[in-house]
Amino acid sequence: MSEADAFEFAMGEFTATFPRDRRYATNHMWAAEVSPKRFRFGLTAYAVRLLQDVYFLDWIVEAPTTIAARSQIGSIESKKAESDLYAPVPGQLTLINDAVLADPSLINSDPYGDGWMVEMEASDDSPLLDPDGYAQHLIKAWDVAQKTIKGQANT
């Protein structure tokens, strides 16, 4: 990807790349609009880097389901953590990627392609950020993540 097509964010020795043709949720999911108000979501390189080696994915909702933003939709397990997954926007969950459910490692190998997780139809103007807004959010999120990592290392 060229600089015009993507932006980068330094995470210590690792640099995460983010496509500019997407929008982003503050829960570190990317959103690609597949039709008006219908978005495909996956985890950003930032989330994948923090999780490292995703090996299990589970959904607690099925499509089609109407859900509120920040409602739990599933969980993910990786080498580093087990985390709940939350809806990035309010609306209807319309599709779950069965391929990534069968092989969660797609999230590691192709987070912006075959590693997408769900499609949702947003119910209103979604709180998604443009790439520059997400870049600013990453600065704040990385500060918190570093403090958390250092805190865990000191316990």
Domains and CATH numbers, the chain: 6-148 (2.40.50.100)
pLDDT at 143: 73
Query: By three-state DSSP, how is residue 111 classified?
Result: coil
In tens digits, what is the pLDDT along the chain, a chain of 155 residues? 556 798 888 887 888 899 999 999 999 999 999 999 999 999 999 999 888 899 999 999 999 999 998 999 999 999 888 999 999 999 999 999 999 999 999 999 999 999 999 999 998 766 899 999 999 999 888 776 666 555 554 44
What's the predicted TM-score (pTM) here? 0.87
The radius of gyration computed from the CA coordinates of the chain, to the nearest angstrom, equals 15
